[in-house]
Structure 1
Amino acid sequence: MYRASEKRYDTMKYNRCGKSGLLLPAVSLGFWHNFGDTGNYENMVEMCKTAFDKGITHFDLANNYGPQPGSAETNLGKIMKEYFRPYRDELIISTKAGYDMWPGPYGNFGSRKYLIASLDQSLMRMGLDYVDIFYHHRMDPETPLEETMNALSQIVHSGKALYAGLSNYDGQTLEKATKILEDLKVPFIINQNRYSIFDRSIEKNGLKETSKKLGKGIICFSPLAQGLLTNRYLDGIPEDSRIRTDGRFLKEGQLTEEKLGQIRALNEIAKRRNQTLAEMALAWDLKDDYITSVLIGASKPSQILDNIKAIENTVFSQEELNAIDEICRS
């Protein structure tokens, strides 16, 4: 029988999610990789235990996380039943719908039909009565925004989710969605977007500043740029790396000599800060007080322990920030 550490809340930092009442750990555990059918179940269990024992109370999923789609939720359901059921009220479980999930015209994007049906399937796979946060996973250029937001309203007001979130939205659409959700009295509290030293898209499309203005939280996925912002590729491409063994999200062509030079230069700054490159990359996301949390992926428990160290130093001098920006422009 699993007994969580009595000291699980001693060292983790918790940040308020925008202007809401919800606190999230500064580091959250994402199930995008390594929790599907191709992963080792016992390793998944140990990663969840390690994370929770260190105060990571937030497990983030989506309907299509795998491979195969749905398998990450199925595995979480098994882990919850076998180990975490006594701790359900201490956990934040989030999931999403918006990307292609099942065949035919009703398993994709942002229709009322898709979102409600998808969450029902997700709850069944996870063996849960509700999720804490349910996200629309991406903007839908065809479905009226009002329809998608009304679906989120029904989901929250039915009790199947406690809070609503939006993922991969830009600032302009976020502002429109917020107005609709406020009128519907939906507790929309958080945006999930890609953000890293190498990917500043939310600074360019207005999402970051609009979230701050509206008092909505931001949780960042891919803060390590799919592993580029770690020591994994400092000396080239290892044969057991994600590029070699998977290749779905990180392509060999992305690791150019120019990119390698940037990674090595950033690593030198990290050394001067007494951090690993990964720790510095996570800390860089968390340097702004309105960034709520960073989502880490892991393939083994030790990576979780290493990444948590980032919260020990999230303060950057202006000289360091300027140097990081200059490297990324080079």
Structure 2
Amino acid sequence: MAAIVSLLALFILFISSSVSSLSSNYYDKTCPHLESAVTSAVKTALSNDKTVPAALLRMHFHDCFIRGCDASVLLESKGKNQAEKDGPPNISLHAFYVIDNAKKAVEALCPGVVSCADILALAARDAVALSGGPTWEVPKGRKDGRISKATETRQLPAPTFNISQLQQSFSQRGLSFEDLVALSGGHTLGFAHCSSFQNRIHSFSSTLDVDPSLQPSFASNLRSVCPAHNKVKTAGTTLDSTTTTFDNAYFKLLLQGKSIFSSDQALLTNPTTKALVYKFASSHKEFENAFVKSIIKMSSITGGQEIRLDCKVVR
């Protein structure tokens, strides 16, 4: 027990030192046109594919939750080592080309200066802003990591998690209940495959086939899209009713029994998180403010060592 407490204390100290090492003006002199180059790459991709913002936001989250925001999620598998992007929770990640294109543009402006981790953090910010959400100053100065292991993706919070599991996962990274609920609001963008919510609509328990917390007609629609023995790997549903717009619809639907994941519904099983869901459902502005605060906090967990010239391979 003492060892666990000691380890957690070291992790919190690590987070604190990481946050202090980042700065919003980190590249003002060395790469002043960095942000416009990244925004341009995201805009170009978005004009051709409306799913890009959700993909970039999810990619950033999945990166930060493993070894800190070190772009380890971007590395390719090599030899006998399977990288994070090939781990089961990350198989459906896409739009890596957007980061590659942004990196290429940035390298043309200021070679060897900007990390892939910073580019991913900026791209995630742009993804939210270009979807009608808030914008914010991204603290910069992250370094890229050299290690990426598919086995470590088991550390990612699963869509089947209950509130205790979610709290543990977030608290281990220095994130609070408010961060948990605010960042869950990122589910306002995106798509879920049947496999990630099958547990709620088929064989829910020994006595119930469907999760009783689901609104009946909504559950029926989910079951029609995802039959019990569904073999269509691309089948699924959008995460909320405004899937390409960053808003607070996710929280409103959650209160109506129209959430997708067990981990979404779990937010209503704790008094603190439930109160936050009501707060964000009733005020778009409160949600935006909390989301910005929480994503800056999450994206400030760092751990890399180098500046990659190619985001896919260690330098």
Higher helix share: 2
| Higher RCO structure (Cα 8 Å, ≥6 apart) | 2
Bin the TM-score by the shorter chain: under 0.3
TM-score between the two structures when normalised by the length of structure 1 = 0.26
TM-score between the two structures when normalised by the length of structure 2 = 0.27
